[in-house]
A and B are shown apart, each in its own frame.
Chain A
Amino acid sequence: MKKIIDNREIEVNEEGYLVDFTEWDRELCLCIAEEQGISMSEKHWEVVTYIQDKYQKEEPLSIRGIKKSGVINIKEFYALFPGGPLKKSTLIAGIPKPKSCI
C-alpha cells in the first residue's frame, strides 16, 4: 500500500514498513521517527546505520546481537526506542521487521 511520508508517495506494508529500502533517505527517516514520537539524536543515527549494515550483509537482527554489537547496550537501546526497540528501529531504518522470537 501507498503512504504519504515527507510529501512523497512511499510503498509500505500493512505495518508501515518500507517495501523498498532504496526509497529510504535521512529526510524520510526523520519523518518516520517523528511519527513514532522519536527525535533523532547522534546515537539514534549510529544505531540506524548499524542495523542497516547488518541488513545489507543479510545478518539476522536479534537483541543478543545488539548486546554484542559494541555500538549500544540493551538498556540504552530500550531507552532510545521505547515500546519495542527492534520493531521501531527497523521501521525507522527502512528495513523489514525482524522475524525472530529472540
Chain B
Amino acid sequence: MSTTKVKKMLFILSKGTLENAYAAFVMANGARMEGIESEIFFTFFGLEAIQKKKLLHLHTATVGNPALHMPTMLGGLPGVEALATKMMKREMEKLDMPPIDEFLEILSDSGCKLWGCKLAIDMFHLEREDLIDELDGILTIGDFYGRANEEGTHLLFI
C-alpha cells in the first residue's frame, strides 16, 4: 500500500459556482478515500453550497467564462446560463457524480468536516437553520488555522 506524506487536506471554498463546489467536493472526498483527513471551510459565495434553499440551484457562469467558448453577449441572454448548467449536470450524472445535497451527505458520512465561516455568515445575515444539518460548526479563520496546525497538512483555496 502506498503511503503518503499528506495527512490532512483543508479546502476553503469561496465561490458559489457549480464547478468550484464540485472541485472542492471531489478533492475532499478523494482525500478521504485515500485515508487522508479532509475538511472544507465555506466562505463568501461558497456558502451557497451549504444553504438548504440554494444548494441545489448552483450554476455554471456563462458570462466571463472564456472556457465555455461562448460570446459574452450570448451568455448573458435569459435562459442560457440555466441551459449550460443543465447540460453540465447531465454530463456529471453520466459519470455517477452525486448532486450537491447527496455529495454533502457522502462527505459528512465519510468523516470530512464541514465548517461555515463566521464572518461571511454574519455578513450575509444567515442563521444556523439556513445551513445544512451536516455542518460541523461555524468557525473564525483563526479557529480554522488551528485545525491546520499539524504536520502534513495542506490548505487549498478554491
Residues on A facing B (Cβ under 8 Å): 15-16, 36, 60, 62-65, 67, 73-75, 78, 82-88, 91, 101-102
Contacts and interface: CB of A to CB of B under 8 A. Distances in A.
B34 A84 contact: yes
A102 B97 contact: yes
Interface residues of B, number: 19
B102 A64 contact: yes
B1 interface: yes
A15 B106 CA distance: 27
Given A15-B1, A78-B111, A87 B34 contact: yes
Contacts of B32: 78
Contacts of A74: 106, 109-110
Nearest to B30: A101
B98 interface: yes
A64 B2 contact: no
29 contacts: A15-B2, A16-B1, A36-B1, A62-B96, A63-B106, A64-B98, A67-B105, A67-B106, A67-B109, A74-B106, A74-B110, A75-B111, A78-B32, A78-B109, A78-B110, A78-B111, A82-B35, A83-B35, A84-B35, A85-B33, A86-B33, A87-B1, A87-B33, A87-B34, A87-B35, A101-B26, A102-B26, A102-B95, A102-B97
B35 A64 contact: no
A65 B34 CA distance: 17
B29 interface: yes
Nearest to B109: A74
B49 to A, nearest CB: 17
B52 to A, nearest CB: 20
Interface in B87-132: 95-98, 102, 105-106, 109-111
B33 A63 contact: yes
Nearest to B22: A102
Contacts of B102: 64, 67
Contacts of A16: 1
Nearest to B31: A84
Nearest to B111: A78
A69 to B, nearest CB: 13
B96 A64 contact: yes
A46 B98 CA distance: 25
Contacts of A63: 29, 33, 106, 110
